[in-house]
Chain A
Amino acid sequence: MLFKTLTKKDFRSLVEIILQSNEVIGPKKSGTNKDGNPIHKFLPVAKFEEIDLGYQTTEFSPKTYFLPYKENLSTYRFENGEWEQDIRYRIQPRAIIGMHACDINALLKLDKVMARDKFPSPYYVSRRRNTFIVGIDHEPAEKCFCQSVGADTVTHGFDLFLTDLGDRYFVAINSDRGFNALAKVDAKLVTEKDSHDYLAVRAKIQNSFKTKVRIDNLPNLLDIEFESDMWKKWGNKCLSCGSCAMVCPTCYCYGVAEHVSMDFTKGQKVKQLHSCNLVDFAEVAGGHNFRPTRSSRLKYRYYHQHRGFVEAYDEPKCVGCNRCGTVCLAGINPPEVIADLQAEGHGP
């Protein structure tokens, strides 16, 4: 990896250069919550000032720019009893400024499913390759447990990654387009003091995680405690609303439905994100449902995150952002569910 430093003024110039001819997405203050704290969302920005790099977390992950909630897979034109299929991919370049390490790690996990596995998704790959990513280090929020799942640092999957050293950024460069972008502004070579300051900031971040979750034994424990009553306890709280999957930066499951236009000249095949907690997730033709209960669906969610995904890709699907725990109206959150599972594993 190559490193450089950038004054905050030069970083601003860099973003402004990108803004001249490209769509730029950044963490933007979009309101305040009931406690008076700001709510941030990844939204298109028109000016550098709209980007708030000091944000703690966003309610929704930037996943939506790679896996939109709704996406048109193909359009059918009907004419004289005949049809033609038309498929388009999104090829407009876009930059996302200010993604945290957990969200970039989430993209790396999505890459494994969407871009590297059998049948890479052209819809995803096109968006991914056309997105310029500038990440940024941050001190963890109270409930973040990304460190516990190994998602607090990131070494690839971005173009530039910033660490705030007070008056300047320490910049990790991970692509030629990132390197070329820095060449447009006055990026400086790294001095010994820069490296020293950077490592001090990193150490401070590393030591400031408050929430810790034990996950190393989960693949085994999830099999052993498959019939445990704790799943009923948490499952009975679950409202089966699917909010957890909507805010999750790595949940990718979806359903496909088709619609016909009012004048019957066009049909659209539309992909819409789904959730394994929704009642019809595992229903098949004729009405049989492989996961008919709330507890079996909630259990499956954890099973996929910490057992199924681990078996397929040697790492958990969860990046520890705790967005699902924050959004859940029933108070179901991974640290508590997993602690319960761990306690169950220790027996009475």
Chain B
Amino acid sequence: MNILLHRYDITQEDDFHALPDFNRKATLQHVDKVYKAEITNIIRLTEMEKLFHFRILDPKERDTFSFLPGQFVMLEVPGYGEVPISISGSPTNKGYVELCIRKAGVVTSMLHRAGRGARVGIRGPFGTHFPMGKMKGSDILLIAGGLGLAPLRAPIFHVTENRSDYRNVHIMYGTKDPSQLLFDYQYKQWERIDGVNLSVIVERADDTWKGPVGLITKLMDGMKIVGDETYAIVCGPPVMFKFVCNQLGKMGVPMHRMFVSLERRMHCGMGKCCRCNIGSTYTCVDGPVFDYWSVMNLKEAI
């Protein structure tokens, strides 16, 4: 008998068992429930990275799942762990999630051993996105270093699929050496698109490399752009942001027209675990996409 203190079963609340809508952010919901997804395809990119195609199994959940370029998911391998991974695929490919994953820890090493048909859990999408709508009518610089091409691939898809919305597009990509180049099978396709200019640079060339050698900023030397009519998206290691964004600044691009994607090791994706906290900001809900002013204004962001 329980007269004074009634059981409060939160699972009985209205909408609690409705499919969580991750874009609506203040309702109490079953947010730790994962979408079950199957690996449908695996594409070897380099020795360390593979591109995985996942299909969310439940048709209802698959319909609900849509994302914007720059967002990430929490990917769970039951029994091994959960990791944040930014989405590399096209936003129009609804219910299908493409993730480019580097073998770096327990969960990602397990994934690299997994085969087609293996089932994982996905929560999300989480976080902010690149403001593709706001960028309409401008020149676009898409700049990536190393693994940064993984998150940049989603806006590349968006820009090429909505080509008439944007003016000139420059894709610039740099890695340490040619063996680390990601998505090299797509370069030819990108550069043939009308008004898309692709340049790739490596820090250390090998015998086969015929392209330019140097740091990514070298690709920007001598480039003529109108700062107020240009948007830039920069993805890569923290050290790259400073050099690239400073150079963009000198070329006249205002800080609020440069967007970067920050990397942190989130454990929840929902502004709770604090592991991605920078000052007052959670990278998982206030980011991972920030304009460069916000990054400059945050201590220890890069």
Contact = CB atoms under 8 A, between A and B. Distances in A.
Nearest to B274: A253
B273 interface: yes
A285 interface: yes
B271 A113 contact: yes
Contacts of A276: 274, 277
Nearest to B80: A258
Interface in B62-110: 76, 78-83, 102, 104-105, 108
Interface string A67-94: 0000001101010001101010101111
B41 interface: no
A256 B82 contact: yes
Contacts, number: 179
Given A177-B5, A285-B265, A307 B79 contact: no
Contacts of B238: 288
A89 B77 CA distance: 22
Interface in A307-335: 307-312
Interface stretch (A36-44, A118-126, A207-215): A118-126
A300 interface: yes
Contacts of B264: 282, 284, 290
Contacts of B300: 290-291, 296, 300
Contact of B8 (A91, A226, A309): A91
A301 to B, nearest CB: 11
Contact of A256 (B28, B34, B78, B267): B267
Interface in A223-263: 223, 226, 252-260
B277 to A, nearest CB: 6
A283 B275 CA distance: 9
A18 B5 contact: yes
B4 A18 contact: yes
B189 interface: no
B104 A255 contact: no
Instruction: Indicate the size class of the contact surface on chain B.
Output: 35 or more
Contact of A269 (B10, B25, B82, B277): B82
Contacts of B119: 82-83
A267 interface: yes
B9 interface: yes
A260 B275 contact: no
Nearest to A18: B4
Given A226-B299, A254-B274, A119 B4 contact: no
B280 A309 contact: yes
B58 interface: no
With a 10 A CB-CB cut-off, give which of B3, B25, B32, B270 has the most chain A CB atoms.
B32
Contacts of B272: 113-114, 119, 121, 252, 254
A93 B270 contact: no
A271 B4 CA distance: 31
B2 interface: yes
A255 B26 contact: no
A8 interface: no
A255 B275 CA distance: 8
Contacts of B79: 76, 78, 83, 258-260, 267
A297 to B, nearest CB: 10
B285 interface: yes
B29 interface: yes
A255 B266 CA distance: 9
B104 A285 contact: yes
A226 B299 CA distance: 9
Contacts of A119: 25, 29, 31, 270-272, 285
A125 B16 CA distance: 13
Given A74-B32, A258-B81, A291-B300, A253 B105 contact: no
A129 interface: yes
B6 interface: yes
Contacts of B121: 85
Interface in A93-149: 93-95, 113-123, 125-126, 129-130, 132
Nearest to B300: A290
Contact of B32 (A87, A274, A307): A87
B280 A118 contact: no
Contact of B26 (A87, A94, A120, A285): A120
Contact of A87 (B33, B76, B81, B275): B33
A22 interface: yes
A100 B31 CA distance: 32
A118 B26 contact: yes
A311 B5 contact: no
A202 interface: no
Nearest to B76: A269
Nearest to A227: B299
A184 interface: yes
Interface in A334-348: none
19 contacts: A21-B3, A22-B4, A76-B79, A93-B6, A122-B29, A123-B32, A130-B7, A132-B5, A177-B5, A254-B267, A269-B82, A274-B275, A276-B274, A282-B275, A283-B265, A286-B104, A288-B238, A308-B279, A310-B280
Given A269-B78, A284-B263, 5 more contacts: A91-B8, A119-B270, A223-B299, A253-B275, A285-B263
Sorted from nearest, which 10 A-B pairs have the closest CB atoms? A253-B274, A267-B79, A311-B280, A93-B5, A119-B270, A118-B25, A76-B78, A308-B280, A285-B104, A260-B79
